[in-house]
Chain A
């Protein structure tokens, strides 16, 4: 597997070419605590090259000291990958599904369809203010992936429905695709429930059916 190392500020991201191909690339985004290697086994029928990204603090990407993770930073990770591979269809699992969804709204002309599938980190944290627990140590795994701070912070990042529906509308208005988001998830945390009701979001569809639709876009 060919791997390209990309720089995102002080973090080095590993972007893996799972297999070559001809046509529009497909980008895999993994779940919380997973890595690109786990996504690479996903069986899909796609003619173009298939790439898989290790998010900050995961897989072969570097681990920043002291945490400070947010879904928006991971969205920027995905944007770094997209600048390298160009316009792409994105498949995200769990946390990666949320990031695929965010980047579809943030870069609607670069993301030609985002497919959201179940996986770790899909739910995120609360949808409003809550009390946090006191956490003073990430254990003795400093420098290893997945980064404990990533697991702690990204499993409880806030995803209020009003925020996520905004990204759904940005994807619809900016992409020129009738249905730029495909939700295949069986699990429906509040943010997913909110976007299922939005125009431009396909539901009750399989991963491969969604990819077939986006391949024709």
Chain B
């Protein structure tokens, strides 16, 4: 079967793609730009994949960078791993980055990728020369106004539901649909992005089987809504960073965003950095306005 294709203005598939073995997990890596140029790493967010940089990455590469991105384990074309975890994601990142260069390099990271890279920058400051964090600066989450006993019940339900799912995880698979179906589903999570873009994403982030399209994201990756990690821990790490730092924040809340507001983030911006608030933009800042954002970032990096 020849998969349906879509094009999108400005979108360019990577110049190179290859596989990388990260401690036994097969990771898909992509590069834009001349291989001999200095490396710059792009890091995607949760439930995303490197192809979401298809417009943004070429703009950065055109400025003279070897832009390297990868699909996180369980995402895009990387292997569906048996286990997933924050430390494992960071370790995979370090493994991919080390295979490209051991020199300190600039990193541009979005959403969960931003929080991951702040932890990497905190533990390995010698690996990152400059950090751009695109709406990946979680702060103390605003809790809904529900009584304690209701919160306990919701947590109990959430844990029970997650445990139930673990029993069935081995047999789980993503729901098939038409290309348009998948774009519409994703549109619920990305309400500010155009239909044309979402349909393009389906053609590079989903696979077409006999019964329809399915997102490649590992269906066993269901987040439980509980755990010991606290979003504000990312703020503590951010405040301690010493490399040049640029934080970008939009002003529209979206389902896949952290809900962080400028007043939540500003107190934690490191002394080496600044926060830029882009009015009228949502969580996917670099996708909504790739030209404006790439210009801003390239000025910062220069």
Q: Nearest chain-A residue to B126 (Cβ)?
A: A134
The answer, among B87, B119, B170, B233, for a CB contact under 8 Å with A67, is B87
Q: How many residues of A contact B (CB 8 A)?
A: 47
By a CB distance below 8 angstroms, the chain B residues around A7 are 170
Given A65-B81, A106-B159, 17 extra CB contacts under 8 A? A9-B170, A10-B80, A56-B82, A65-B24, A66-B92, A68-B73, A68-B81, A68-B83, A68-B84, A69-B85, A71-B228, A72-B227, A107-B163, A128-B236, A132-B87, A132-B123, A158-B228
By a CB distance below 8 angstroms, the chain B residues around A106 are 156, 159-160, 163
Minimum CB–CB distance from B224 to chain A (whole Å) comes to 7
By a CB distance below 8 angstroms, the chain A residues around B82 are 9-11, 56, 64-65, 68
Q: Nearest chain-A residue to B164 (Cβ)?
A: A79
For the A-B complex, the count of residue pairs with Cβ-Cβ distances under 8 Å equals: 124
Q: A134-170 interface mask toward B, CB cutoff 8 Å, 1 = contact, 0 = none? A: 1111100010000001000100011110010010011
By a CB distance below 8 angstroms, the chain B residues around A169 are 152
By a CB distance below 8 angstroms, the chain A residues around B166 are 8-9, 76, 79-80
B220 interfacial by beta-carbon distance below 8 Å = yes
A49 interfacial by beta-carbon distance below 8 Å = no
Minimum CB–CB distance from A103 to chain B (whole Å) comes to 9
State whether A65 touches B224 (Cβ < 8 A).
Answer: no
Q: How far is the CA of A65 from the CA of B82 in the complex (A)?
A: 7
Q: B218-244 interface mask toward A, CB cutoff 8 Å, 1 = contact, 0 = none? A: 001000101111100110110000000
By a CB distance below 8 angstroms, the chain A residues around B95 are 136
The answer, among A66, A128, A131, A159, for a CB contact under 8 Å with B24, is A66
15 intermolecular pairs with C-beta atoms under 8 Å apart: A9-B169, A9-B220, A56-B83, A65-B82, A66-B83, A66-B91, A68-B73, A76-B162, A76-B163, A132-B87, A132-B123, A134-B123, A136-B94, A153-B88, A173-B152
B292 interfacial by beta-carbon distance below 8 Å = no
A186 interfacial by beta-carbon distance below 8 Å = no
By a CB distance below 8 angstroms, the chain B residues around A136 are 91, 94-95, 98
Known: A67-B23, A68-B84. A135 touches B91 (CB 8 A): yes
Minimum CB–CB distance from A49 to chain B (whole Å) comes to 22
Task: Please list the 5 inter-chain residue pairs (A to B) with the smallest Cβ-Cβ separation, ordered nearest first.
Answer: A68-B83, A65-B24, A64-B82, A129-B233, A66-B25
Q: How far is the CA of A135 from the CA of B87 in the complex (A)?
A: 10
Q: How far is the CA of A56 from the CA of B224 in the complex (A)?
A: 19
A48 interfacial by beta-carbon distance below 8 Å = no
Q: Nearest chain-A residue to B166 (Cβ)?
A: A76
By a CB distance below 8 angstroms, the chain B residues around A107 are 160, 163
State whether B170 touches A131 (Cβ < 8 A).
Answer: no
Q: Nearest chain-B residue to A159 (Cβ)?
A: B228
Minimum CB–CB distance from B218 to chain A (whole Å) comes to 10
| A contact patch SS | loop
A44 interfacial by beta-carbon distance below 8 Å = no
Q: How far is the CA of A11 from the CA of B94 in the complex (A)?
A: 25
Q: How far is the CA of A68 from the CA of B57 in the complex (A)?
A: 29
State whether A69 touches B83 (Cβ < 8 A).
Answer: yes
By a CB distance below 8 angstroms, the chain A residues around B156 are 106, 170, 174
Q: Nearest chain-B residue to A148 (Cβ)?
A: B23
By a CB distance below 8 angstroms, the chain B residues around A11 are 82-83
Most chain A beta-carbon contacts within 10 A, residue among B88, B94, B124, B228: B228
Q: How far is the CA of A2 from the CA of B24 in the complex (A)?
A: 32
State whether A133 touches B25 (Cβ < 8 A).
Answer: no
Minimum CB–CB distance from A197 to chain B (whole Å) comes to 18
Minimum CB–CB distance from B205 to chain A (whole Å) comes to 22
Q: Nearest chain-B residue to A133 (Cβ)?
A: B123
Minimum CB–CB distance from A38 to chain B (whole Å) comes to 23
By a CB distance below 8 angstroms, the chain A residues around B122 are 131
Q: Which of A7-57 contact B (CB under 8 A)?
A: 7-11, 56
Known: A10-B170, A73-B83, A159-B228. A66 touches B237 (CB 8 A): no
By a CB distance below 8 angstroms, the chain A residues around B220 are 9
Q: Nearest chain-B residue to A136 (Cβ)?
A: B94
Q: How far is the CA of A131 from the CA of B120 in the complex (A)?
A: 9
B22 interfacial by beta-carbon distance below 8 Å = yes
State whether A134 touches B94 (Cβ < 8 A).
Answer: yes
By a CB distance below 8 angstroms, the chain A residues around B233 are 128-129
By a CB distance below 8 angstroms, the chain B residues around A159 are 228
By a CB distance below 8 angstroms, the chain A residues around B90 are 132
Q: Nearest chain-A residue to B236 (Cβ)?
A: A129
By a CB distance below 8 angstroms, the chain B residues around A163 are 227-228
Q: How far is the CA of A8 from the CA of B171 in the complex (A)?
A: 10
Q: How far is the CA of A119 from the CA of B242 in the complex (A)?
A: 39
B155 interfacial by beta-carbon distance below 8 Å = yes
B142 interfacial by beta-carbon distance below 8 Å = no
